[in-house]
Amino acid sequence: MNCSEIDVKGYFLNEIAPADKVLAEHHIRECAVCGEELDRLRITQAALFGARDEEMPRRIVFATEQPRGTSWWAGLWNNGPRLGFASAAMLSVAILGHGLLARTPAGSGAIDEKVNAAVAKAVVEIRAEHREEVEALHSNIEWLTKRINVYRVTAANYEVRQ
Protein backbone atom coordinates (compact mmCIF):
# COMPACT_ATOMS: atom_id res chain seq x y z
CA MET A 1 0.00 0.00 0.00
CA ASN A 2 0.91 3.59 -0.50
CA CYS A 3 1.37 6.10 2.37
CA SER A 4 -1.12 8.52 0.79
CA GLU A 5 -3.82 5.83 0.99
CA ILE A 6 -3.43 5.40 4.77
CA ASP A 7 -5.11 7.80 7.20
CA VAL A 8 -2.80 7.58 10.21
CA LYS A 9 -4.71 10.26 12.13
CA GLY A 10 -8.02 8.50 11.46
CA TYR A 11 -6.46 5.21 12.65
CA PHE A 12 -5.16 6.89 15.82
CA LEU A 13 -8.54 8.44 16.60
CA ASN A 14 -10.48 5.23 15.68
CA GLU A 15 -12.38 7.04 12.92
CA ILE A 16 -11.83 4.54 10.08
CA ALA A 17 -13.77 1.44 9.09
CA PRO A 18 -12.69 -1.89 10.63
CA ALA A 19 -11.56 -3.28 7.24
CA ASP A 20 -9.36 -0.23 6.67
CA LYS A 21 -8.09 -0.47 10.23
CA VAL A 22 -6.51 -3.89 9.56
CA LEU A 23 -4.81 -2.58 6.40
CA ALA A 24 -3.59 0.52 8.28
CA GLU A 25 -2.11 -1.59 11.14
CA HIS A 26 -0.25 -3.75 8.65
CA HIS A 27 1.11 -0.72 6.75
CA ILE A 28 2.14 1.16 9.91
CA ARG A 29 4.17 -1.86 11.12
CA GLU A 30 6.08 -1.95 7.83
CA CYS A 31 6.40 1.79 7.01
CA ALA A 32 8.85 3.76 9.18
CA VAL A 33 7.42 7.18 8.19
CA CYS A 34 3.86 6.28 9.14
CA GLY A 35 5.11 4.61 12.34
CA GLU A 36 6.91 7.81 13.35
CA GLU A 37 3.78 9.85 12.70
CA LEU A 38 1.76 7.52 14.90
CA ASP A 39 4.41 7.83 17.67
CA ARG A 40 4.27 11.64 17.45
CA LEU A 41 0.48 11.55 17.76
CA ARG A 42 0.77 9.33 20.87
CA ILE A 43 3.37 11.69 22.45
CA THR A 44 1.12 14.70 21.76
CA GLN A 45 -1.85 12.95 23.35
CA ALA A 46 0.22 12.04 26.41
CA ALA A 47 1.42 15.64 26.76
CA LEU A 48 -2.11 17.00 26.53
CA PHE A 49 -3.48 14.54 29.08
CA GLY A 50 -0.52 15.23 31.36
CA ALA A 51 -1.19 19.00 31.55
CA ARG A 52 -2.89 20.14 34.72
CA ASP A 53 -6.44 21.38 34.59
CA GLU A 54 -6.94 25.06 35.25
CA GLU A 55 -10.12 26.77 36.22
CA MET A 56 -11.59 29.19 33.70
CA PRO A 57 -11.60 32.84 34.79
CA ARG A 58 -14.91 33.94 36.25
CA ARG A 59 -14.90 37.40 34.68
CA ILE A 60 -13.61 38.14 31.22
CA VAL A 61 -12.65 41.75 30.51
CA PHE A 62 -12.96 42.78 26.91
CA ALA A 63 -10.39 45.06 25.31
CA THR A 64 -12.95 47.84 24.82
CA GLU A 65 -13.89 47.99 28.51
CA GLN A 66 -11.86 50.13 30.84
CA PRO A 67 -11.03 48.76 34.28
CA ARG A 68 -12.91 50.31 37.18
CA GLY A 69 -11.30 53.18 38.96
CA THR A 70 -9.61 54.72 35.90
CA SER A 71 -10.48 58.14 34.55
CA TRP A 72 -12.01 58.73 31.15
CA TRP A 73 -8.79 60.47 30.13
CA ALA A 74 -6.72 57.32 30.81
CA GLY A 75 -9.37 55.27 29.04
CA LEU A 76 -9.03 57.51 25.97
CA TRP A 77 -5.22 57.24 25.83
CA ASN A 78 -5.24 53.46 26.37
CA ASN A 79 -7.81 52.70 23.67
CA GLY A 80 -6.61 52.88 20.06
CA PRO A 81 -9.96 53.28 18.25
CA ARG A 82 -11.16 56.00 20.64
CA LEU A 83 -7.87 57.86 20.34
CA GLY A 84 -8.01 57.61 16.53
CA PHE A 85 -11.57 58.95 16.45
CA ALA A 86 -10.68 61.83 18.78
CA SER A 87 -7.64 62.70 16.63
CA ALA A 88 -9.70 62.69 13.44
CA ALA A 89 -12.36 64.88 15.05
CA MET A 90 -9.79 67.43 16.25
CA LEU A 91 -8.14 67.52 12.80
CA SER A 92 -11.51 68.07 11.13
CA VAL A 93 -12.34 70.95 13.48
CA ALA A 94 -8.91 72.52 12.85
CA ILE A 95 -9.31 72.33 9.05
CA LEU A 96 -12.84 73.74 9.21
CA GLY A 97 -11.73 76.55 11.54
CA HIS A 98 -8.82 77.47 9.30
CA GLY A 99 -11.06 77.57 6.25
CA LEU A 100 -13.59 79.82 7.97
CA LEU A 101 -11.16 82.14 9.72
CA ALA A 102 -8.39 82.47 7.12
CA ARG A 103 -8.37 85.83 5.39
CA THR A 104 -6.50 87.00 2.35
CA PRO A 105 -3.46 89.12 3.24
CA ALA A 106 -3.79 92.87 2.97
CA GLY A 107 -2.52 94.25 -0.31
CA SER A 108 -3.07 91.06 -2.31
CA GLY A 109 -5.30 93.08 -4.66
CA ALA A 110 -2.35 95.31 -5.52
CA ILE A 111 -0.26 92.26 -6.31
CA ASP A 112 -3.00 90.95 -8.61
CA GLU A 113 -3.13 94.29 -10.44
CA LYS A 114 0.65 94.30 -10.94
CA VAL A 115 0.57 90.75 -12.31
CA ASN A 116 -2.29 91.55 -14.70
CA ALA A 117 -0.48 94.68 -15.94
CA ALA A 118 2.74 92.72 -16.54
CA VAL A 119 0.86 90.03 -18.48
CA ALA A 120 -0.93 92.62 -20.65
CA LYS A 121 2.37 94.37 -21.38
CA ALA A 122 4.03 91.07 -22.38
CA VAL A 123 1.13 90.23 -24.74
CA VAL A 124 1.40 93.64 -26.46
CA GLU A 125 5.19 93.24 -26.87
CA ILE A 126 4.86 89.75 -28.34
CA ARG A 127 2.19 90.90 -30.79
CA ALA A 128 4.39 93.84 -31.87
CA GLU A 129 7.38 91.53 -32.42
CA HIS A 130 5.41 89.16 -34.62
CA ARG A 131 3.25 91.73 -36.44
CA GLU A 132 5.53 91.78 -39.49
CA GLU A 133 5.54 87.99 -39.70
CA VAL A 134 1.74 87.85 -39.49
CA GLU A 135 1.38 90.53 -42.22
CA ALA A 136 3.81 88.60 -44.48
CA LEU A 137 1.83 85.39 -43.97
CA HIS A 138 -1.40 87.24 -44.72
CA SER A 139 -0.04 88.60 -48.02
CA ASN A 140 1.24 85.12 -48.96
CA ILE A 141 -2.22 83.66 -48.30
CA GLU A 142 -3.81 86.32 -50.54
CA TRP A 143 -1.34 85.56 -53.36
CA LEU A 144 -1.98 81.79 -53.04
CA THR A 145 -5.74 82.38 -53.10
CA LYS A 146 -5.40 84.36 -56.33
CA ARG A 147 -3.25 81.60 -57.90
CA ILE A 148 -5.82 78.96 -56.94
CA ASN A 149 -8.59 81.03 -58.55
CA VAL A 150 -6.50 81.30 -61.75
CA TYR A 151 -6.10 77.52 -61.84
CA ARG A 152 -9.82 77.03 -61.32
CA VAL A 153 -10.67 79.31 -64.21
CA THR A 154 -8.11 77.55 -66.41
CA ALA A 155 -9.50 74.13 -65.46
CA ALA A 156 -13.07 75.28 -66.16
CA ASN A 157 -12.07 76.61 -69.62
CA TYR A 158 -10.28 73.34 -70.38
CA GLU A 159 -13.41 71.33 -69.50
CA VAL A 160 -15.59 73.55 -71.71
CA ARG A 161 -13.33 72.99 -74.75
CA GLN A 162 -13.51 69.25 -74.49
CA 91 – CA 95 distance, rounded (Å): 6
- Enumerate helices (H) and strands (E) in the chain, giving the number of each: 6, 0
What is the pLDDT tens value at each position of the chain, 162 positions in all? 678 888 889 988 988 998 889 889 999 899 999 999 999 999 999 888 888 887 777 776 666 555 565 666 676 677 778 788 888 999 999 999 888 887 766 555 667 788 889 999 998 888 888 888 888 888 999 999 999 999 888 888 877 776
The answer to the question of residue 57 being in a domain is no
pTM > 0.85: yes or no: no
Q: Which domain holds residue 7?
A: 3-50
Residue 9 lies in a domain: yes
Sequence-distant (6+) residues with CB within 8 A of 14 are: 21
Q: What total of structural domains would you count in the chain?
A: 3
Report yes or no on 151 lying in a domain.
Answer: yes
